[in-house]
Amino acid sequence: MGSLVIAALVSGALFGTGLAMSGMTDAQRIVGFLDVFGDFDPALLFVLGGAVITTVVLFRFVLKRGSPVLASTFHLSNLRRIDRRLLGGAALFGCGWGIAGYCPGPALAALGIGSLEALWFVPAMIGGMLLHRLINRA
């Protein structure tokens, strides 16, 4: 197994562990965060805030390297405008997140700890990814 695959597995495991430790694998906690006019749970706000602060502080140092440790170049988006596809994708993502209480990372982490909700969400997520691939090929 290549070093890139091992690094991806270790990074994914670290990310999943962080999600589980912060309670973000609990779909009800996410739905509680999105329920701003009901039983609001602000826990996700602190998790997101920690991620944003870490990125703002450290991302400039990462990009100063010139290239990633295990690749020849960074793969950054060159998208500079907000278009219909971006807004539609964001809306669809948000609706799915609000209905299920999962987005891809926490869903996979929840699957790893045996969540029953993740057992139905992850196959639906994979189906959506395959549908997207089919639509984009056409």
pLDDT at res. 87: 94
Nearest-angstrom CA–CA distance, 107 and 82:
27
Collapsing DSSP to helix, strand or coil, 124 comes out as helix
pLDDT digits 0-9 by tens, 3-25: 889 999 999 999 889 888 888 88
pLDDT digits 0-9 by tens, 72-91: 898 888 889 999 989 998 99
Nearest-angstrom CA–CA distance, 101 and 93:
11
pLDDT, the chain, mean: 90
Helix/strand/coil percentages in the chain, nearest 5: 70, 0, 30
Give the count of beta carbons closer than 10 Å to the beta carbon of residue 128.
14
pLDDT at res. 66: 85
* pTM for the whole structure: 0.74
Q: Which amino acid is at 109?
A: A
